[in-house]
Amino acid sequence: MRLEHFGDVWAKLEFFNPLSRSIKDRTVFFLLRRFLNDGLYGGLVEEASSGNVAVALAALANIYGFRYRAYTTKHLPRTTEVLLRVLGAEVVKVDRDSIDEGFWRWVRDNATRDGAINLNQFENTDNPEGHYYFTGGEIVDQFMSIGRRPRVLIAGIGTGGHVTGIARRLRDAFGDVYVVGVEPAINNVIPGIKRLESGTRWAREVVDEVIDVSLEEAVDGVIRVARSEGLLIGLSSGAVFQAFLKVRERLGDVTYLLIFPDDIYKYIDIIDRFVNST
């Protein structure tokens, strides 16, 4: 979708995915596919997630007959926790601010002891590969269909999977594409994205620049897009939009692609703390 009020700016609206209403439907299905192809139905899956992977995995666990134990941080949005319990997932909230390398390796070791499947979205190369072939492939086809060539890609840094896979596919199709990774500012928590130094392994290979965004800025981005474009985007999408505003001052009016991973509805409690003063 083109953001009409901001020039030649295009947003990939990943909240049209049906299970988690996020880009993580793609991630989880691609990671789970190997186990399904091997006939490993049923049993227990244990995975660390800050939200959307957990919802997507809980939904797919029901479809394919798995049980799912979700390990999350203390900042899990209340709405996401409710969704997980509706889907029948076991939720284990750990007293941590964010999911870093120590966290996901601890979950991996727990899964080994429990005899459970651990998809390990943080280290499994099927993560960026899935986004290369599917998400990135869609985007290339969509730009080809309108005769455009993206010059700047702006995406959040989480596991690093979608920014890496999409960046590689765009560069293979269109040549030089400038890649901006978006992370939370120091001492800020924005669900769905994390700081590059927290251990995301692939994003370092593709990003040309990293932009820090505060939680307050992300909320402001959500509100600005809502009031200009009528789109109810999520907090990481609001952060991506704010990063776009920052880099546009230097890079000018070229063709931009913004990845909006999910919508607003899981984050209403967080946004409510800010919206009355806006």
User: What number of CA atoms fall less than 13 Å from residue 33's CA on the CB side?
Assistant: 12
Query: Do 228 and 107 reside in the same domain of the chain?
Result: no
* Residue 135 structural domain: 4-17+125-275
Query: Do 186 and 109 reside in the same domain of the chain?
Result: no
Residue 46 vs residues 61, 102, 178: alpha-carbon distances, Å: 11, 15, 36
Q: Is residue 166 part of a domain?
A: yes
Quick one: pLDDT at residue 98? 83
Q: Is residue 189 part of a domain?
A: yes
The proportion of the chain whose per-residue pLDDT surpasses 90, expressed as a percent, equals 87
Nearest-5° angle of CA 33, CA 20, CA 25? 25
Query: Do 229 and 265 reside in the same domain of the chain?
Result: yes
Q: Is residue 89 part of a domain?
A: yes
> How many structural domains are present in the chain?
2
Q: Is residue 119 part of a domain?
A: no
Quick one: pLDDT at residue 99? 87
Query: Do 204 and 130 reside in the same domain of the chain?
Result: yes
Query: Do 10 and 58 reside in the same domain of the chain?
Result: no
pTM over 0.85: yes
Mean pLDDT of the region 148-163? 96
* Residues 6+ positions from 55 with CB-CB distance below 8 Å: 19, 20, 21, 22, 24, 80, 83, 84, 87
Query: Do 11 and 32 reside in the same domain of the chain?
Result: no
Last residue of a domain, one of 73, 89, 114: 114
Q: What is the CA radius of gyration of the chain?
A: 18
Query: Do 152 and 38 reside in the same domain of the chain?
Result: no
**For 60-118, how does the pLDDT look when each residue is reduced to its tens digit (9 = 90+)?**
999 999 999 999 999 898 999 999 999 999 999 999 888 888 999 999 999 999 999 99
Q: Is residue 196 part of a domain?
A: yes
